[in-house]
Each structure stands twice: as C-alpha cells, then as structure tokens.
C-alpha cells in the first residue's frame, strides 16, 4: 500500500477495483449462452453472430492505447466515470432495441470502454499498492471472474424465465450502476486516485524504454493474445459445442457456469500462489497443461468427460489472465510505465483474442463440425507453452 493512503481509503479503493472489474466481461460473456438463440431469431450465420463477441474484444485491443492518453488529458477519475457509464448505457440499450446493428453498435462501444478501463486499473494498482500488486491483481481478476461466471451461468436462466434474450442481455447493466457508485465513494472528497505531476512523469518517461522497442514486451503481447484468444474462444463456443454434442441449453449453460465458478477461485488463488511461491514458469506450465487436458476431454464429446473438462478448464481461464497482468507490473518501475506496457500488451493481445473466435465461426460455417475448433484451441495452449520458456521467471525468483 502507498504510504500516503489510509486504511479506510485503501479499502474503498479495493472495493471500487472489484466493482469496476465485475463490469469488464458480462457485455461479452453473456452472448455465449444466447449464441444459438440470437442466431436463430435474427437468422444469422455463425460468423455474423460471433461478431457480437469478437468486435468488443478487438476494440479492447485497438483502443487500449487510449488509456494513457485519456489519463493524461482528463485524469483517471473522470475517465473512469465516463467509461463505466458507457458500459451501463450500452448494456441497458440491448433491452429496448432489437436487431443486429444495435447489438453490434453496443458491442463496439462497450469494447472501447473496457479497453480504456483495463490499463488504468493496472496503473492504479501499481501506484497505490506497489508492495501488494499480486494480491490486488487477484482482486481485479476475481471481480472479472465473478462478472464472467454470473453472466455466463445466469443469462440462460433469465432467458428461460422471461422468454426474452433482450432482457437476459440487458439485465447486466445493473452491475455498471454498482460500479459507478463504488467509484464515487472511493474517489469523493480527499480520497482521490493520485495523478503524478506532468514534470515528474516526463522525467521518468525520458529514462523509460518504450515497450514497443522491448523484445520482452512483445513476448508479453503474444502470451496475452494467446490467453485472451483461448478465453474468448472457449467462453463463446463451449455452450454451442456442448449442445452439438447432445446437451440441452440449460445443461450447456450449467457446464459453462461450472467452468466459470472454478475460474473465480483460480482468479484469486493463482496470483496469491505466485506471490507466495514466485516460480512463475512452474505455475504457467501447470496451468497450461491443465488447459490442454481439458481441451482433449471436450474433444471426446462424451458428456461425463466434458463435465470433468469443465472443472479443469477453469484453471487456465482463471489463472492465465492475472498471471499475464503481472508481467508488466514485474517489469516496470512506475505507474506510468505500467500503464504503457499494459496498454501495448492489451492492444495486440485483444486483437488476437477477438479474431480467433471469429476464425472458429468461419471454420464451423465451412465444415459444420468442431474438429478445427479444438485444433485451434489446442494450438493456442502449445504457443503459450513455448512462450513460457522464452519469458522465463522473474529476476528475483531465480
């Protein structure tokens, strides 16, 4: 914790980090359980309906570089207010206006907002909790896991109860309201997120190496992109895969929910383990082997093995994101550097992450089977396995 922060201020800030991070996935992950329903009601191809999850993720990559710029021009406090509001409004709009253009437009705007929030949260954690970064990253990723699990597991329940996929998608706007209130309480009065003076920032920036010129930053980008692609491919396509294997919508949604519940625990557990036992390479290899095992279990199409796979796949889905977020924090010294390294990593990483589910959709439209889906997912884990050896352990963990 920063020396200038009181215990009360830090608690409010931690609650705000959690509440905001909860909003960073439902606009995307709520689509997965409704993929077939939306496709049938709007008469779309698999590629068209997959754009609803691909567009926001690609936007998260393209617009991540806006975070440092908006932070310097408007300040983190105001920027965060605007981005949370955008997520809430676009999510709520899905309940009032139907049609593919509206769904695509809301996905686009939500993607921009999420893109800006991500690097700002990482910079805020670096600045205010430099000695407990791994633990706070765990809270951040735990919040994202809660949002993912709730939206993936309950969207189908809301649909079954109301018969309206519009309501099932728009109900998640409530989370944005909670995030807005939490942020207000965290930054009101004297309890502000500190912004570094421009002169101090400029002096540090002169000494810092641009992440775009660092080979290590490019390795981080590739790893983050592969884990992002794996996450969004699995959360988008697991329910349709399960249904093609003979499961009902409710069974497929439950399968997705189990995966997300395990992910929630891994979101908080993996960062704590990596902080307590800082052998980064060991943890990454364990997580990746778990992912490969789960993909093979899903590939069998046997229901009992798919249920086991749902438990196991929660390990990489919950562990890889916080592990990747720690890369820039371990490599940089200031919040400004962390912001820039994270923005670069997420710029390329989320573009990769958004493109793979779309590629899977195109392959499925072409072949009408999911063999290529599993091949692509397995290749992503193999790529991360190789990158783990290139990235190596932290210097102080040797």
Residue of 62 and 88 predicted with greater confidence: 88
pLDDT at position 370? 87
pLDDT at position 200? 46
The answer to whether 222 and 391 have CB atoms below 8 angstroms apart is no
pLDDT in tens, 240-299: 899 999 998 888 888 988 898 898 888 888 888 887 877 788 999 999 999 999 999 999
Averaged confidence pLDDT in the chain: 86
Alpha carbon distances (Å) from 286 to 91, 253, 268, 270, 384: 36, 27, 16, 11, 12
Q: Record the pTM.
A: 0.78
The answer to whether 156 and 35 have CB atoms below 8 angstroms apart is no
pLDDT at position 226? 94
> Under 8 Å CB-to-CB from 11, ≥6 apart: which residues?
none
Question: Tokens 């392959």 label which residue?
Answer: 363
pLDDT in tens, 3-58: 556 788 889 999 999 999 999 999 988 988 888 899 889 988 888 888 998 899 89
pLDDT class of 189 with cuts at 50, 70, 90: low
pLDDT at position 47? 85
Q: Rounded to whole angstroms, how far apart are CA atoms 88 and 179?
A: 9
Q: Rounded to whole angstroms, how far apart are CA atoms 240 and 153?
A: 14
If residue 208 lies in a helix (H) or strand (E), which one and from where to where?
A: none
pLDDT in tens, 205-228: 455 678 888 888 899 999 999 999
Residue 194's CB is within 10 A of a number of other CB atoms, namely 13
Q: Rounded to whole angstroms, how far apart are CA atoms 287 and 63?
A: 29
User: Which long-range contacts (C-beta less than 8 Å, at least 24 apart) are formed by 332-336?
Assistant: 332/126, 332/208, 333/204, 333/208, 334/126, 334/196, 334/204, 334/208, 335/123, 335/124, 335/126, 335/127, 335/196, 336/68, 336/123, 336/196, 336/201, 336/204, 336/205, 336/208
The answer to whether 224 and 118 have CB atoms below 8 angstroms apart is no
Q: Rounded to whole angstroms, how far apart are CA atoms 378 and 294?
A: 10
Name the percent of the chain lying above pLDDT 90: 39
pLDDT in tens, 85-114: 999 999 999 998 888 999 999 999 999 999
pLDDT at position 353? 85
Query: Mean pLDDT throughout 54-68?
Result: 86
Q: With 0-12 CB in 10 A as exposed, 13-18 as middle and 19+ as buried, what is 167?
A: middle
pLDDT at position 289? 97
> Under 8 Å CB-to-CB from 322, ≥6 apart: which residues?
137, 138, 140, 141, 267, 270, 271
């Amino acid at each position: 914790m920063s020396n200038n922060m009181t215990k009360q201020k830090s608690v409010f800030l931690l609650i705000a980090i959690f509440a905001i991070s909860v909003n960073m996935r439902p606009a995307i992950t709520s689509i997965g359980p409704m993929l077939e329903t939306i496709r049938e009601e709007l008469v779309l191809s698999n590629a068209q309906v997959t754009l609803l999850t691909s567009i926001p993720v690609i936007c998260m990559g393209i617009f991540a570089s806006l975070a440092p710029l908006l932070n310097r021009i408007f300040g983190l406090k105001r920027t965060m207010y605007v981005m949370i509001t955008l997520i809430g409004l676009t999510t709520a709009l899905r309940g009032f206006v139907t049609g593919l253009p509206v769904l695509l437009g809301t996905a686009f705007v939500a993607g921009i907002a999420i893109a800006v929030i991500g690097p700002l949260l990482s910079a805020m954690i670096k600045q205010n909790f430099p000695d407990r970064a791994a633990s706070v990253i765990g809270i951040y990723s735990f919040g994202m896991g809660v949002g993912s699990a709730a939206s993936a597991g309950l969207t189908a329940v809301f649909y079954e109860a109301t018969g309206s996929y519009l309501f099932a998608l728009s109900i998640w706007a409530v989370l944005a309201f909670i995030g807005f209130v939490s942020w207000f309480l965290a930054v009101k009065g004297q309890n502000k997120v500190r912004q570094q003076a421009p002169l101090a920032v400029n002096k540090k920036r002169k000494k810092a190496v641009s992440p775009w010129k660092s080979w290590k930053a490019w390795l981080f980008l590739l790893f983050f992109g592969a884990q992002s692609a794996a996450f969004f491919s699995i959360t988008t396509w697991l329910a349709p895969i399960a249904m093609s294997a003979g499961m009902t919508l409710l069974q497929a949604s439950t399968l997705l929910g189990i995966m997300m519940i395990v992910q929630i625990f891994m979101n908080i557990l993996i960062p704590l383990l990596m902080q307590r036992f800082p052998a980064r390479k060991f943890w990454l290899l364990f997580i990746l082997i778990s992912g490969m095992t789960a993909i093979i279990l899903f590939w069998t199409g046997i229901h009992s093995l798919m249920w086991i796979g749902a438990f196991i796949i929660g390990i990489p889905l919950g562990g890889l994101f916080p592990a990747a977020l720690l890369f820039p924090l371990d490599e940089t010294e200031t919040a400004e550097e962390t912001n820039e390294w994270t923005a670069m990593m997420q710029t390329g990483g989320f573009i990769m992450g958004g493109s793979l589910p779309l590629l899977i959709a195109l392959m499925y439209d072409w072949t009408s089977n999911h063999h290529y889906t599993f091949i692509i997912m397995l290749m992503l884990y193999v790529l991360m396995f190789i990158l783990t050896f290139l990235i190596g352990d932290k210097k102080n963990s040797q």
